[in-house]
Structure 1
Amino acid sequence: MESRAAGSTAAGFSGGAMRFPPPTRDGGRGRAWEYINPRMQGRIGARGAMRGGRAGAPSLPVETLRKYGIVEMAKRKLIPYPGMEADLEEALKREEVRSLSVDDLVFLFKHQNELCDKCGRCCRIESPIHVSPHELSRIAEHLRVPYGELKRRLKLIPLRDGTYHLVGRPCPFLKGNLCSIYEVRPGVCRLYPAWYLYTQFVEDKPAQVDLECGVIKKLFAYKLAAAVAVIKLEREEPELFNKMVAGARELWEKFMPGEERMKDMPVEVQFMWLERWHRIFRTYVEGGRAHA
């Protein structure tokens, strides 16, 4: 039986309701959760709800990006040039670099597989795993044990809708840093961390961001490095930069009003809409013709 890294995620989409309960505190054993409000249509989420005793902030503090090595990661993505450090400091001041956007979540859904460090951290943090009877049945079949016996072995908390929370850490299926049920792992495991952030994003809640997760660190490093490149382009080729900004603004105004209606749509439709917007925007920036 092939086993893969427990932290690896799947690029595929799985519909249906998924629950990601707030992570519990772990007594100082390396938890690195930060809370930031999502940005909907370029605006800060207005709700500002309290989660886990902390208020959601519009963006991560600059000191936090430094603390978790994200600034150094961004530097390694850039080819050094005179004035780069000054551009880097300017980029760090930009709130969009330190917050989440629609484009960021689409990026995660598409690329979290390749960004994953396969460290198994997500299998060790203390949040319960939401699992359905169907998923338990698939796991039992994969392990070749009776369904009832598997349920007795696991620490399951029944929920009102007939599903369960699998509690206890590390995950009982974690072997070293490998997932022993990788092929049939629950949907929440397949889509972490993108789905976790996405469900909070569309509900306009402060997102819980684990800055020890390699996927999240690489996302913010990518955003920071990209911002530095934009600052350099704006200074050295202002005409090209202005054309790109004007085109992006035109596309934004044409397509983004639909975002206000996203929350009332099924989750699958929301995700397809985000993908469509991402494809159109990237095609334009890269100089091609967009196809809806």
Structure 2
Amino acid sequence: MNEEELKKQTLQYRELVGDDLFWFSVSQNVMTIEKDRLRFGQLALEILEHFECDRCCKCCTEMPIHLNDEALERLARLDGDALFDKLDDNEVDNYLKSPCPYLNGDTCTIYEIKPTACRMFPFVVIRPEPTLQLCPMGKRIFATFKDLVRKYGKKDLKVEWEEEGAAIRLPDHTGETGKKAVYVALPIPVLEKFLKYLRLEARQV
């Protein structure tokens, strides 16, 4: 469905149900999206407690780093107006330039207050599903996931491999999208089971 068809269907739905029910439906959808986003972030951080970063700096040099309001405020307190020079002018939302201006060699100079997007990597929000970026650490996480699925016999879990289409390719550090970034889609229920398996495994060590 293209954008025009979507707009047409949205208007038809609004005319059918009326303004009150239409805006109620919109607010419910927004609340659901926000709830899922928060849950994904929580799961990503808890899963990452079981892994150690390889410090390959792929996320710092090749990935667009989004700054939510909280991260923007923290960095503004640190840098003041100088922060604006570190933001990507080509983005509508607040993203740091690539490579990350806070990267010094292979050292993050703001590690203690780094943005949520950095803390969550290689877990990335790419609609419609939460995804795992297959950098060296992401590959190790996914290999562990597959091993635990086999070990605990959960045959019902379906994991979809994706290779990004042109419209949703992630840019590299030059801003180009010629190279496809490969990721795996891991819906929230799958991540919840993965965390459960990691905890079971930790108890056996």
Q: Give the structure-1-normalised TM-score.
A: 0.35
* Structure with the higher helix share, 1 or 2: 2
TM-score, normalization by structure 2: 0.47
Q: Which has the higher contact order (CA 8 A, sep 6+)?
A: 1
